[in-house]
Chain A
């Protein structure tokens, strides 16, 4: 596995509470991504980062914010969790993010349940 860790691996929380998921990489890759995976929808991009403090929205960014203060860490925050945000969240990294030969390496995932 590429050097990607996610924490926590499992979390149960209540509606309305803030939640922060962490992705940590040891590969020094420039691009980092957050996806969610739900049955019937597959992987959908939430936000991505193309450098420290440089982030952009993905397909399903509403209700989520991100921050990247160091190359190795990418945080995903749910400011006020809702039941619709119950999902499995994957972090991914890629070396450049702007090459046709770039591939993504995924972390192990975080299973989040919002009650």
Chain B
């Protein structure tokens, strides 16, 4: 069966360090992968999208990599700040389908000052 796995344990890091979050998937042929941010009590907010033929995408302090051989995406936040503390969700849409994404459960990031 199709699975999207994100680390259920919170990631705790110190301010200024690089946070790296992982999204692994099985039994998918993803057309693209997205990362969303969700703050407590609010809906997810889109951050970045990377297509299956792209290796890396950047946006300001954010970087996403996509390795279809390893079936893994890494989400990096450089120079992290306490304001980056949130839950980060990855979402995949399979090629040849409706492009409606399936979401992972998310990983909580806590940046300590």
Contacts and interface: CB of A to CB of B under 8 A. Distances in A.
Interface in A77-115: 90, 92, 97-109
- B interface residue count range (under 10 / 10 to 19 / 20 to 34 / 35 or more): 20 to 34
A19 interface: no
A43 interface: yes
Contacts of B102: 45, 59
Contacts of A97: 98-100
Contacts of A74: none
Nearest to A39: B105
B2 to A, nearest CB: 11
B61 interface: no
B42 A108 contact: yes
A51 B12 CA distance: 43
B25 to A, nearest CB: 13
Interface stretch (B13-21, B43-51, B63-71, B75-83): B43-51
A106 B44 CA distance: 6
Contacts of A98: 98-99
A101 B89 CA distance: 17
Top 5 closest pairs, chain A to chain B, by CB: A106-B43, A42-B105, A43-B103, A103-B46, A100-B32
